[in-house]
Amino acid sequence: MNYIYKEKKKDAPVFVLLHGTGGTETDLVSLAELLNPAYNILGIRGNVQENGMNRYFKRHGEGQYDWEDLEFRGNELYEFIVEKSKEYNFKMEDVVLVGFSNGSNIAIQMMLQQPESFKKAALFAPLYPADASEKHDFSNVDVFLSLGKGDPIVPESESLRVIDLFKDRGAGLTTVWVNGHSLPQEAAQQAKKWLGNV
């Protein structure tokens, strides 16, 4: 997997940056710098291609996930992060997942598959179009969600499903609503405020 690692400060938390469809491992670096410039950065490029665009897992169409591939890729990405944690000497509990769109979706998958591993996530424009059956205890997990009103890709009912997914598992939850399928400055600033408080 293509990736970048930027160490700012030894033993600082690590942002794991997960881009949207068509993005690269550097897409969310400026967002990470805004959220906390002292945190280390691991940006990972999705290794699935869709019409020449990078993604983290296959799909059959907009909002129609290949669930088998999602499960496989979720494990693969998790193992890659664990491998990098050993290589760069950081702890998994110090990881903050930061995702946009497709990156948010694989982040949710990893959190469901590895409920003990991730404690913080800032997810922008997420979509997880299924009711997850396992009721993990997320009471020690803090999540920031940026959701879109009038999002052409994620219907509002699906944004509410993502809220419920975390709420039903007892996660600490902060939500902000923005316009469309986007990551505007206002959402980034709210995420920065959230991160400073958790």
Catalytically active residues, by annotation: 101, 151, 181
Question: Tokens 């944004």, residue?
Answer: 159
Dist CA 153 CA 109 (whole Å): 19
Alpha-carbon distance of 164 to 171, in angstroms, equals 10
Question: What is the C-alpha separation between 108 and 127, in angstroms, rounded?
Answer: 9
Task: Write out the two tokens for 134.
Answer: 């396992």
Question: By the 8 A CB rule, do 145 and 176 touch?
Answer: yes
User: 115-119 long-range CB contacts below 8 Å, 24 or more apart?
Assistant: 117/78, 117/92, 117/93, 118/92, 119/93, 119/95
